[in-house]
Chain A
Amino acid sequence: MSTTNPSSEASVDDHRGLRARFGRRPVAGSPAAAARDRRRSKQRRRLANVAGLMAALVLTGVGYSVVAPGASAADDSTGTASNAVEAGQELYTRSCITCHGANLEGVEDRGPSLIGVGEAAVYFQVHTGRMPLVRQEAQAPERAPLFSEEEIEQLMAYIQANGGGPAIPSGDLRDGDLAAGGELFRLNCAQCHNFTGEGGALSSGKRAPSLQEASDLVIYTAMLSGPENMPVFGDNQLTPEDKRAIINYVQTIKEQADPGGAGIGRVGPVAEGLVMWTVGMGSLLFGIFWMGTKA
């Protein structure tokens, strides 16, 4: 079974085990225990129903991913680089060629040329599920990746082998000065991604996505490749040290607790105004209604 998601298999087993455990009849005992058992067996039946439903759903999902086009990639694990390139080309021919062309040259009004975009662009686009594109719209939405890590590496090898381009960085991607990263973030990133990386709207349905779910490597490859409306921040604009500092800042801010209480989305005065009118003014109106009834 060539599944793309090993974790879903594990969860199927989990649910089966769960059902087996909950479906077992209790041993009869004293009358009181029997009554308790009846109550419990009712709860168990309910739990078993839920577990069974979950298992069925997961099975359906796994089954779909097996028969779905694009995902049924060959499982020929390749040791050598040329094998990876060939496997990548195979994947490319099945899933990408319609829009990007037979020779990576791009198709007008469908997709850009991929010559020279490098493996960094492939990693970002495929790993965040933006590619393969579901449909042509303002902007590709992020979703769960369609390809496995191995398949993504094969695709990256194929694109890198044809025209080169920015490569995946190595080492600690948070190895940079925190405060300098903050300055660079506010100077280069905040105008679209917001102070706290919460994202923001761009024109005509396009948007700068939130950075809350982004991993270090995703942020790094985004800066290298400039996906969608984002500018390319090449190594001559933001040095690798700058990029690492920015990533350090973004991830530190994300993990940091809010000392003032609930963060209310960290989007600033719009959320604050909403809380003030609903919670603050709402509770005070309730208060004066209450005082009014005590007249």
Chain B
Amino acid sequence: MATNTVPAPEQPKTLAGKAALEVDDRIPIAGWLRRTMNKVFPDHWSFLLGEIALYAFVILLLSGTYLTFFFDASMREVVYEGSYAPLRGVDVSAAYDSTLALSFDVRGGLFIRQVHHWAALLFVAAICVHLLRIFFTGAFRRPRETNWFIGVALLVLAMLEGFAGYTLPDDLLSGTGLRIFSAVFLSIPVIGTWVYFTVFGGDFPGELIIGRLYILHVLVIPAIILALIALHLTVLIKQKHTQFPGAGRTEHNVVGNRLFPTFAGKATALFFIVFGVCAALGGLVQINPIWLIGPYNPAQVSSGSQPDWYIGFVDGGSRIMPPWEIELWGYHIPPVLWGALGIPGVMFTVMALYPIIERKLTGDTASHHLLQRPRDVPVRTALGAMALTAYIVLWISGGNDVIAEKFDISLNAMTWFGRIGFILLPPIAYWMTYRICLGLQRHDREVLEHGIETGVIRRLPNGEFIEVHQPLGPVDDHGHGVLSYGGASVPKRMNHVGGARRAIKGFFRPIEDPAEVQRQAEQEARGLEAEEASRELTRSGRPAEGGRPSAGGRPREPRD
């Protein structure tokens, strides 16, 4: 026995190995775990945007659970007798009272509350940025339409979840928001009044709405979001992640890092970064100071009442809608319906159906696993820019009173900016984006054909000045590059192809010896000097076979 120094794989020696074997005996998981841990994820910074949203959601679950220990979702009237003097003796709801107690009398309560609110703002923002990345790179194309639909559903649910949470403290700001919401219900023709009475259990505000929103906020919507996130990730793993075109990357492979350990390490690091940012904001920047805002009272309202940023565009749509009261078949349609339900309704419908719309327009039904650069699909990119511009105009209009006050602009001017901007700016954005895309495409082709502008000006014997260009690959008889565009990023500057020599790695301090880099550079220079004599120029002034034109060297494989 003692001679057997190398144990067979079936006989683990370490304690962890034995424990793992015991587990696998009972629940056969090793095969699945090995496949999963060896799963390869492509590496690009923009693929981490969705992860930010995921980690923000984890922070929301953790911090939100802590808040439920102290929050009382009741509209029962109590007299505030807590430690915040300016409100002592005021009639408030139990929800407001418990939120104040949570903020001032529970250890760490205010910090957790602020982390929760900042993480909520970040959650929706990260979803939006992630969605833009998916849209502009064409990652929603077949076979990934399903995940696009799930993503849009997650965005809508995140907004509803955020709105419900915003309402829970029952302060004057959120109560005003709820009042606007109730008016939106009432504006729906035919069924509006019934919806209104169903939601509030009577007339506004009633005594039920906080309890109802609470159970939606802490149970129903988070459960759906969690299930959809699980589905979103399962589909992602099953379909494999998309990747940008590049060296060695095709429609049939995935180039990147394995889930374990590299990708897992990065994901953990990103979780801590997201957690750190939320904690820093929660600890350093005050958010939703409900003690300053005061308890909700339907008789009161404040100027500058805004929703959280992700509902801002709905508010903006209502603010810039002209006061047109429409009568149709005996039903009254108030203008708030268009701003508050019409615009988001159209926006989310078109957004959800976009993969189908694009498939119909382009007739492209093939499966795609390689991403597109936004410039290569100018129509889609321009449509996206157009939608984004309209959204931003609505968003600005949602805060137009604060902007008017802070920048000393007439509020009426801000409203008219919103109205005219909403009509005029999106087509301008479309046109500009389209032209920019075409320009970038042409520049890519130009660099592939003529090479990179080196900035080196050379005087020919006949007195003519020419700029030396660095071809990216082999050239034909005329000195033109023969590489064709493959959808990948084209190097545009000499340091993209090693013209600045190798960079010293390190963020604040070099993590490798600069002397080594220096030595390589000197060696390179010596080699180039030796070849200097054999250099000759073509008629157009380019080195005949490429190479480093600044020193006039031999052709060299581009490096990155």
A6 at the interface (CB under 8 A from B): no
Tell me the bound Cα distance from A33 to B44 in angstroms.
60
Contacts of B88 in A (CB 8 A): 178-179
Q: Given A201-B404, A272-B308, A284-B277, A194–B302 Cβ distance below 8 Å?
A: yes
Contacts of A249 in B (CB 8 A): 86
B49 adjacent to A182 (CB under 8 Å): no
Q: How far is the CB of A292 from chain B (nearest CB, A)?
A: 3
Type the 1/0 row for B65-84, where 1 means its CB is closer than 8 Å to any CB of A. 00000000000000000000
Type the 1/0 row for A249-284, where 1 means its CB is closer than 8 Å to any CB of B. 100110010111111101111111101110111011
Of all chain A residues, which has the CB nearest B113? A260
Type the 1/0 row for A153-196, where 1 means its CB is closer than 8 Å to any CB of B. 00000000000000000000000011110110011001111111
Type the 1/0 row for B168-189, where 1 means its CB is closer than 8 Å to any CB of A. 0000110000000000000000
Q: Given A267-B402, A287-B270, A195–B410 Cβ distance below 8 Å?
A: no
B274 adjacent to A179 (CB under 8 Å): no
A69 at the interface (CB under 8 A from B): no
Contacts of A183 in B (CB 8 A): 90, 294
Q: How far is the CB of A256 from chain B (nearest CB, A)?
A: 8
A284 adjacent to B269 (CB under 8 Å): no
Contacts of B287 in A (CB 8 A): 260, 272
Q: Given A186-B297, A191-B301, A201-B411, A280–B266 Cβ distance below 8 Å?
A: no
A118 at the interface (CB under 8 A from B): no
A186 adjacent to B45 (CB under 8 Å): no
B411 adjacent to A204 (CB under 8 Å): yes
Contacts of A198 in B (CB 8 A): 304
Contacts of A275 in B (CB 8 A): 281, 285
Pick the contact of A259: B86, B110, B401 (CB < 8 A): B110
Q: How far is the CB of A210 from chain B (nearest CB, A)?
A: 9
B86 adjacent to A268 (CB under 8 Å): no
Residue of A194, A259, A269, A284 with highest tally of chain B CB at under 10 A: A269
Tell me the bound Cα distance from A166 to B480 in angstroms.
89
Contacts of B405 in A (CB 8 A): 199-201, 207
B49 adjacent to A288 (CB under 8 Å): yes
A269 adjacent to B401 (CB under 8 Å): no
Contacts of A292 in B (CB 8 A): 43-45, 48
B125 at the interface (CB under 8 A from A): yes
Of all chain B residues, which has the CB nearest A283? B277
Tell me the bound Cα distance from A177 to B301 in angstroms.
21
B411 adjacent to A203 (CB under 8 Å): yes
Contacts of A187 in B (CB 8 A): 297, 299-300
Q: List which B37-76 residues lie within 8 A (CB) of chain A.
A: 43-46, 48-49, 52
A260 adjacent to B303 (CB under 8 Å): no
Of all chain A residues, which has the CB nearest B124? A276
Contacts of A269 in B (CB 8 A): 173, 288, 306-309, 312
Contacts of B103 in A (CB 8 A): 259
Contacts of A287 in B (CB 8 A): 270, 273, 277
B86 adjacent to A252 (CB under 8 Å): yes
A200 adjacent to B401 (CB under 8 Å): yes
A205 at the interface (CB under 8 A from B): yes
B331 at the interface (CB under 8 A from A): no
Type the 1/0 row for B278-317, where 1 means its CB is closer than 8 Å to any CB of A. 1001011111110011100101111111111100100000
A193 adjacent to B303 (CB under 8 Å): yes
Q: Given A178-B86, A194-B303, A195-B293, A273–B312 Cβ distance below 8 Å?
A: yes
Tell me the bound Cα distance from A261 to B273 in angstroms.
20
Contacts of A273 in B (CB 8 A): 121, 308-309, 312, 399
Chain A count of residues within 8 A CB distance of the other chain: 61
Tell me the bound Cα distance from A273 to B43 in angstroms.
30
Contacts of B333 in A (CB 8 A): none
B498 at the interface (CB under 8 A from A): no
A288 adjacent to B300 (CB under 8 Å): no
A262 adjacent to B303 (CB under 8 Å): no
B299 adjacent to A262 (CB under 8 Å): no
Type the 1/0 row for B515-532, where 1 means its CB is closer than 8 Å to any CB of A. 000000000000000000
B412 at the interface (CB under 8 A from A): yes
Q: List which B88-136 residues lie within 8 A (CB) of chain A.
A: 88-90, 103-104, 110, 114, 118, 121-122, 125-126, 129
Q: Which secondary structure dominates where chain B touches chain A?
A: helix
Q: List which B118-174 residues lie within 8 A (CB) of chain A.
A: 118, 121-122, 125-126, 129, 172-173
Q: How far is the CB of A180 from chain B (nearest CB, A)?
A: 8
Q: How far is the CB of A260 from chain B (nearest CB, A)?
A: 3
Pick the contact of B266: A259, A270, A291 (CB < 8 A): A291
Of all chain B residues, which has the CB nearest A266? B292
Tell me the bound Cα distance from A28 to B411 in angstroms.
66
Q: How far is the CB of B328 from chain A (nearest CB, A)?
A: 30
B85 at the interface (CB under 8 A from A): yes
B87 at the interface (CB under 8 A from A): yes
A261 adjacent to B125 (CB under 8 Å): no
B507 at the interface (CB under 8 A from A): yes
Tell me the bound Cα distance from A279 to B129 in angstroms.
15
Tell me the bound Cα distance from A199 to B288 in angstroms.
18
Q: Given A270-B399, A280-B125, A295-B43, A258–B289 Cβ distance below 8 Å?
A: yes
Tell me the bound Cα distance from A271 to B118 in angstroms.
12
A290 adjacent to B507 (CB under 8 Å): yes
Tell me the bound Cα distance from A167 to B289 in angstroms.
37
A53 at the interface (CB under 8 A from B): no
B412 adjacent to A204 (CB under 8 Å): yes
Of all chain A residues, which has the CB nearest B45? A292
Q: Given A275-B281, A279-B281, A287-B273, A182–B299 Cβ distance below 8 Å?
A: no
Q: Given A178-B85, A200-B401, A207-B405, A272–B304 Cβ distance below 8 Å?
A: no
Tell me the bound Cα distance from A284 to B278 in angstroms.
10
Q: Given A205-B410, A272-B121, A292-B43, A281–B129 Cβ distance below 8 Å?
A: yes
B302 adjacent to A186 (CB under 8 Å): yes
Tell me the bound Cα distance from A291 to B43 in angstroms.
10
Contacts of A280 in B (CB 8 A): 118, 121-122, 125, 277-278, 281
Contacts of B410 in A (CB 8 A): 138, 203-205
Tell me the bound Cα distance from A138 to B369 in angstroms.
60
A261 adjacent to B285 (CB under 8 Å): yes
Of all chain B residues, which has the CB nearest A189? B302
A202 at the interface (CB under 8 A from B): yes
Tell me the bound Cα distance from A37 to B398 in angstroms.
60
Contacts of B52 in A (CB 8 A): 284, 288
B121 adjacent to A288 (CB under 8 Å): no
Chain B contacts to A: CB under 8 angstroms: 43-46, 48-49, 52, 85-90, 103-104, 110, 114, 118, 121-122, 125-126, 129, 172-173, 266, 269-270, 273-274, 277-278, 281, 283-289, 292-294, 297, 299-309, 312, 399-406, 409-414, 507
Add 12 more A-B contacts to A261-B284, A291-B266 (CB < 8 A).
Answer: A178-B86, A182-B86, A187-B299, A200-B304, A258-B286, A270-B402, A273-B399, A276-B125, A284-B274, A285-B129, A288-B45, A289-B45
Chain A contacts to B: CB under 8 angstroms: 138, 177-180, 182-183, 186-187, 190-196, 198-205, 207-208, 249, 252-253, 256, 258-264, 266-273, 275-277, 279-281, 283-285, 287-292, 295
Task: List, sorted by A's number, 21 A–B pairs whose CB atoms are closer than 8 Å.
Answer: A179-B89, A193-B303, A194-B303, A195-B304, A198-B304, A201-B414, A208-B303, A253-B292, A259-B104, A266-B292, A270-B309, A270-B312, A272-B308, A273-B121, A280-B125, A284-B277, A287-B273, A291-B269, A292-B44, A292-B45, A292-B48
> Top 6 nearest A-B pairs by Cβ distance?
A292-B45, A200-B303, A273-B309, A260-B286, A205-B410, A201-B404
